């Protein structure tokens, strides 16, 4: 049974998951005078809204970290994730690697978390991630 604090986090993650599943790319987008939309980046599409999850402890809130690989003793941890699936008060996340240029790389590292353990969520800027 979900506690009351799970509902708001779950609702937000459900919206993000829906947006990501409905993201489309236009491989035929042409940067020409007759393109169908205005704007400098009219052919740029996003498929991910990266998030940082925070857990509560006696010292306040702490960003959750997960390994970027499936190895037993991973050397690299990340605190940036992509929501992949929501099931009531549980969510499955993909670990993302933040690159120096502000982009992200997807990994094959996943984890499932009880949303009752999350006390805050921070959304980062929407982005396009290859190989999702």
Element holding 96 (H helix, E strand): strand 90-98
pLDDT tens column, 50-109: 999 999 877 778 899 999 998 878 789 999 999 999 998 899 999 999 999 999 999 999
pLDDT per residue over 100-122, tens digit each? 999 999 999 999 999 988 989 99
Tens digits of per-residue pLDDT, 5-16? 567 899 999 999
CB 15 within 8 A of CB 47: no
CA separation (Å) from 128 to 16, 43, 89, 106, 131?
14, 12, 27, 10, 10
**Looking at the whole model, is its pTM more than 0.95?**
no
Which pLDDT score, from 0 to 100, does residue 95 have?
97
pLDDT at residue 17, rounded to an integer: 92
Quote helix, strand, coil % in the chain, to nearest 5.
Answer: 15, 40, 45
Please tell me the predicted confidence (pLDDT) of residue 79. 97
pLDDT of amino acid 33? 65
pLDDT at 2: 46
**Which residues contact residue 112 at a Cβ distance below 8 angstroms, ignoring those fewer than 6 apart?**
90, 91, 92, 93
Contact 36, 104 (CB under 8 A): no
């Amino acid at each position: 049974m979900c506690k009351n604090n799970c509902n708001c986090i779950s609702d937000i993650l459900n919206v993000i998951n829906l947006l990501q599943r409905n993201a489309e790319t236009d491989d035929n987008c042409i940067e020409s005078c007759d393109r169908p939309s205005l704007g400098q980046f009219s052919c740029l599409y996003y498929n991910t809204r990266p998030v940082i999850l925070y857990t509560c402890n006696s010292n306040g809130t702490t960003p959750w970290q997960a390994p970027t690989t499936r190895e037993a003793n991973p050397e690299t941890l990340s605190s940036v994730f992509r929501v992949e699936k929501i099931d009531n008060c549980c969510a499955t996340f993909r670990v993302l690697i933040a690159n120096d240029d502000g982009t992200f790389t997807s990994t094959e590292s996943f984890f499932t978390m009880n949303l009752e353990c999350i006390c805050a969520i921070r959304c980062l800027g929407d982005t396009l991630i290859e190989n999702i």
